[in-house]
Amino acid sequence: MNPELSASSIPRVNVLGVGISDVNMGTALMAVEEAADTPGLLGYVTVTGVHGVIESQADAGLQRIHNGSYLSVPDGIPMVWMGWMQGHGTMEQVCGPEFMPALLERGLGAKRRHFLWGGGDGVVEKLSTELLARHPELMIVGTETPPFRPLTESEELDLVARIRELKPHFFWVGLSTPKQERFMSGFLARHADQLRFENQGMLLFGVGAAFDFQAGLVKEAPRWIRGSGFEWLFRMAMDPKRLWRRYLRNNPRFLAGSFAQLSGLREYPLDGLPEADQLK
């Protein structure tokens, strides 16, 4: 874990070596609001499900990125089930498309500033329009669609300059996993000194498809499906060409790994997570 970046004191549950924060929607919201009010605090939040956990099995660097976050909230219900089976019954699903609007709305009175970065062509503009239609007083101080390729050094320095000028409390990153996690960790590690603010904190959030959901470009699963363990079927039905290989590969691997961990057949070290924050 990068020692220059902040991590919440909330303990974590070991899910195949990825430390998932033992939170529910309420405790997650309070933790990030506290971060925004802490001068000099700088960190990132991962919204983690089966895909992120399985990607981390073959990529130790990605595992350390998840474990070096301020929070890694349980985006998928299987994260919660693993927490329950390890004795953490208050843990609940905190999915990005619900977490994002909840935090935006709660920050209205405190005048939290938000920067929207990511998505495809025109997504952040449409997202900003949709959000401001719901809450005209919402403080969206910046929007930007990054190139599909990695930023050049000059582009990255320009982004740092914009952030320093606009001072967002929350910088929302709408890319895919694991691209968004690698961006957040690397960007903050390279520019931590320039991105600390004396009078506030700042968190980056990797919320993936939440941009498309909140902009109305992708249909969300009905509420009765969420938390059932079958939300992946709905998402695959909406975008089968892109997602069927992911679920066919990831779901069996996650089930096998979970059985191995819970039965004691295999240990999954929490690489990159301080020992004091680890839950067995």
For the stretch 108-117, pLDDT in tens is 989 999 999 9
pLDDT at 133: 96
Please say if the pLDDT value at position 22 is more than 60: yes
pLDDT at 276: 42
Q: Quote the percentage of the chain above a pLDDT of 90.
A: 73
pLDDT at 273: 72
Mean pLDDT of 12-26: 97
pLDDT, averaged across the chain = 89
pLDDT interval class at 30 (50, 70, 90) = very high
Q: Are 168 and 48 in contact (CB under 8 A)?
A: no
Sheet harboring 12-15: ordered strands across?
Answer: 18-21, 12-15, 278-279
Tell which wins on pLDDT, 25 or 232.
Answer: 25
Tell me the pLDDT tens digit for each residue of 123-182.
Answer: 999 999 999 999 999 999 999 999 989 999 999 999 999 999 999 999 999 998 899 999
pLDDT at 154: 97
pLDDT at 92: 96
Mean pLDDT of 242-268: 88
Q: Quote the percentage of the chain above a pLDDT of 70.
A: 86
φ and ψ of 39, to 5 deg: -55, 135
Half-sphere exposure (CA, 13 Å, Cβ side) for 95? 20
| Alpha helices, H only, 37-178 | 50-57, 60-67, 77-85, 96-106, 123-134, 153-166
pLDDT at 274: 60
CA distance 42 to 97: 23
Tell me the pLDDT tens digit for each residue of 54-96.
Answer: 999 989 999 999 999 999 999 989 999 999 999 999 999 998 8
pLDDT at 229: 66
CA distance 132 to 125: 11
Say whether the peptide bond before residue 240 is cis (omega within 30 degrees of 0).
no
pLDDT at 272: 72
pLDDT interval class at 237 (50, 70, 90) = low
pLDDT at 280: 40
pLDDT at 223: 66
Q: Could you tell me whether strands 18-21 and 170-174 are parallel, antiparallel, or unpaired per DSSP bridges?
A: unpaired
pLDDT interval class at 234 (50, 70, 90) = low
pLDDT at 95: 87
Neighbouring residues of 86: CB distance < 8 A, sequence distance ≥ 6: 13, 14, 262, 279, 280
pLDDT at 3: 53
pLDDT at 176: 85
Output the pTM of the full model: 0.90
Q: To 10 degrees, the CA torsion angle through 191, 193, 198, 201?
A: 40
Task: Report the amino acid identity of residue 167.
Answer: K
| Token code pair at residue 99 | 């977490």
